[in-house]
Amino acid sequence: MFQTSILHINRHALVNNLEFIKKTIGNKPRMSSVIKGNAYGHGIEVFVPLAESCGVDHFAVFNADEALRAHKSIKRNSDIMIMGMIDNLELEWAIENRIEFFVFEFDRLFAAIEKAKEMGKKARIHVELETGMNRTGFDESEMEQLINVLKANRKHFEFVGLVTHLAGAESIANYTRITSQIKRYKAYYKRFKRHGLKPKYRHIASSAASVTYPDTRLDMVRIGILQYGFWPSPETFINYTVKNETNIDPLQRVLSWKSRVMSTKYVNTGEFIGYGTSYIAKNNMKIACIPVGYAHGYSRSLSHQGRVLINGQRVDIVGVVNMNMLIVKISDIPETKKGDEVVLIGHQNGSEITVASFSDFSNQLNYEMLTRLPKEIPRIVEF
Ligand SMILES: *Cc1c(COP(=O)(O)O)cnc(C)c1O
């Protein structure tokens, strides 16, 4: 493998986070590990077997392609659930391989029932309800027909889940909207039950709701960002610290990103560094080139602002982030040489560059920064 940087995936951190989640949600709900967006940048192929080895047995993806990748990666008997896109033509594959999928409109529901009939197998469905996010889900006007169709076709599907998704549980500003969604969901559930339609799992909570709204935990929770060691929002973390009278962050970042110094050189006072004239050396300087740029997911908006760790020191990016390279000032650590470790995200000798600091500077959310890490960067598990 030839590469200019490596993503390290730390098993201890994952175990720690899963323990925290377990402690928070209690024993009742089953955890579905959300691995859409290439497992939030951690890499589906690496993350799935690792999470399985830590006891995870249910994974949630966005589409059929991610489900296929997860399916090829599982080593145990874990279940896979598609929460978003599956083409009607992909349903056969899903049914054949016992892949669970959300159903939120009649076209997919009818296609799934047809396919299941034809194959003599059951489609494993999660029925998604519209409760106020206004994205996907059956709404009130469709409910009667939905219930009738489900009752008439019991033989052809396994009613795995009754689902809704909350529109922003990570912010108290959405409190009214969220609580009204929860209420609507509960009313729908009762209606389904009255018709003898009982799902195996009721689930509505993602990371934020699981922590902030205990009554959303139900039978299953869909946990993404927390398991990777990040809070859905600073507010969710503060809410947690207040409720638990602590200021310690119980989460540990699973991912770190490392590269090496490619070359070093001296620059005289008054010289411009890099493209254009945006950076001028005010003194004689020593600089280092790092072989990572925006093509590798290192945002160009970190030009002049980003920091990396070399020899345990925080050093500044000078000039603009290039496509495949960035330049840092190493005047304070002139002993730095070619091949020295560079930490772009993570720890080195007691200092840390967090994804949050990174995203603050680049105006990206943790979620976005992580999922932009290209698939091509190798992921290595640290035990
Ligand atoms: C992404 C997603 C989740 C997980 O969200 P986190 O905030 O990362 O926990 C849960 N449910 C659905 C439907 C999602 O799309």
Residue 362 pLDDT more than 70?
Answer: no
Question: pLDDT tens digits, residue range 276-319?
Answer: 999 999 999 999 999 999 999 998 988 898 999 999 999 999 99
State the virtual CA torsion across 315, 319, 324, 327 in degrees, nearest 10.
Answer: -30
Q: What is the 3-state secondary structure (H, E, C) of 29-83?
A: CEEEEECHHHHHCCCHHHHHHHHHHCCCCEEEECCHHHHHHHHHHCCCCCEEEEC
Q: How many residues does the chain have?
A: 383
The pLDDT assigned to 133 comes to 96
Under 8 Å between Cβ of 7 and 371: no
| CA gap 239, 34 in Å, rounded | 23
CB-neighbour burial class of residue 245 (10 A; exposed 0-12, middle 13-18, buried 19+): exposed
Q: Ligand 1 atom closest to Cα of 232?
A: 7
Residue 56 pLDDT more than 90?
Answer: yes
CA angle 252-255-260, nearest 5°?
A: 130
223 alpha carbon – ligand 1 mean position (Å) = 6
The pLDDT assigned to 1 comes to 63
Nearest alpha-carbon partner for 60 in 81, 29, 40: 81
Residue 148 pLDDT more than 80?
Answer: yes
Which domains does the chain show, CATH number per domain? 11-244 (3.20.20.10), 255-353 (2.40.37.10)
Nearest alpha-carbon partner for 225 in 99, 352, 52, 368: 368
Q: Ligand 1 atom closest to Cα of 83?
A: 13
- Give me the residues paired with residue 56 across strands: none
165 alpha carbon – ligand 1 mean position (Å) = 8
The pLDDT assigned to 369 comes to 85
**CB neighbour list of residue 305: distance below 8 Å, 6 or more residues apart:** 317, 361
**CB neighbour list of residue 195: distance below 8 Å, 6 or more residues apart:** 147, 150, 151
The first and second tokens of residue 380, run together, are 């290595």
Pocket test for ligand 1, best of 17, 47, 62, 206 (most atoms within 8 A of CB): 206
The pTM of this model reads: 0.95
Ligand 1 lined by 256 (C-beta under 6 Å): no
| CA gap 67, 86 in Å, rounded | 10
Q: Ligand 1 atom closest to Cα of 207?
A: 9
Q: What is the mean pLDDT of residues 268-276?
A: 95
**Element (H or E) spanning 116, and its range?**
helix 106-119
Pocket test for ligand 1, best of 34, 40, 86, 223 (most atoms within 8 A of CB): 34
Ramachandran sector of residue 29 (left: φ over 0; alpha: ψ -120 to 50; beta: rest): beta
Of 173-187, 270-284, 300-314, 345-359, the least confident: 345-359
Crossing angle of helices 106-119/140-152, nearest 10°?
A: 10
224 alpha carbon – ligand 1 mean position (Å) = 6
The pLDDT assigned to 51 comes to 98
Q: How confident is the model at residue 232 (pLDDT cuts 50, 70, 90)?
A: very high
Residue 365 pLDDT more than 90?
Answer: no
- Calculate the CA 128 to chain-centre distance: 21
Under 8 Å between Cβ of 308 and 344: yes
Give the three-state DSSP class for 240: helix
Parallel, antiparallel or unpaired: strands 157-163 and 123-128: parallel
- Give me the residues paired with residue 306 across strands: none
- Residue carrying structure tokens 């598609």: 82
Each residue of 128-150: b (16+ CB within 10 Å) or e?
A: bbbbbeeebbbeeebeeebbeeb
CA atoms within a 13 Å half-sphere pointing along the CA-CB vector of 308: 34
Residue 259 pLDDT more than 90?
Answer: yes
33 alpha carbon – ligand 1 mean position (Å) = 9
A 10 A CB-CB count for 213 gives 17
